[in-house]
Amino acid sequence: MVHEGDVVNRYRAGAVAWMASAVIFPVQLLVARRWPQGYSVTHNAISDLGVVGCGQFSEQGQQVRDVCSPWHPLFNAGMAASGVLIMIGAILMYGWWDSRSGRAGMILMALTGLLVSIVGLAPWDIYPGAHDSAALGQAVAQWLAMGMLAAAAGPGRFRQLTIVALVVSIVGFAAFLAALEGAEVPWLGLGGAERISFDTLSLWTALAGVALMTSRGVRDKASTSAC
């Protein structure tokens, strides 16, 4: 027999793991501050923080930029750790919404976490194919997960937060793709567009953890899951 308190604690631990995944934000700040020539939020990509070597990099000849990230091991480790926390959180919170969309959404969030970890373990300049594929897979998996979790949650602030974050991330990704093709993205640039897309996903994960952690329905959800 599963006690209600055990299920409650499992859900809460999962929510805390999602909240802790936001560790990637202070890690990015620390690593960026160690750049000898200065890191540009608009000109540099997020992945530049994890590049192992120093030199001039570009996106197939577009968006040429100087990159040198002495603290790249910290960024890559932080990315991998953030992904593990997302994955653990999804596993622990599986069943929070006892519906097909809710369970599928949590499975996709676990996949998202795995892909985020791969991004950290495969620096862009060493494993460009694996890095880019994992990053794209992360975005698609999380977008699908957010849509399913929004549907499972029903009307309320969580659904509203999720829909707004989903739309902002997709719009940011479209701008990012345009920048990769050489288009000028006013005020944002390559880095700003990428951050709107991917940092929105990271921020949503942490805020979703807060929302679920503080939800009044945690005991009701646990009670219906107990047997």
How many degrees, rounded to 5, is the angle at CA 45 between CA 42 and CA 47? 155
Torsions phi, psi for 58 (to 5 deg): -150, 170
Q: Which of 132-136, 186-190, 198-202, 215-219 has the lowest mean pLDDT?
A: 215-219
**Positions of E strands within 69-225:** none
Question: Does 99 score more than 80 pLDDT?
Answer: yes
What is the distance of C-alpha 175 from the center of its chain? 18
Give the pTM: 0.91
Average pLDDT score over the chain: 91
Q: What is the mean predicted confidence (pLDDT) over 127-142?
A: 97
Question: Does 36 score more than 60 pLDDT?
Answer: yes
Question: Does 103 score more than 60 pLDDT?
Answer: yes
Instruction: Say if strands 62-67 and 55-59 run parallel, antiparallel, or are unpaired.
Output: antiparallel
DSSP letter for 202, please. H
- Better-scored residue on pLDDT, 213 or 163: 163
**pLDDT 10s digits, 198-217:** 999 999 999 999 999 887 65
Q: Work out the angle between the directed axes of helices 128-153 and 100-121 (0-180°, nearest 10).
A: 160
Q: Work out the angle between the directed axes of helices 4-20 and 189-213 (0-180°, nearest 10).
A: 160
Q: Work out the angle between the directed axes of helices 4-20 and 218-225 (0-180°, nearest 10).
A: 130
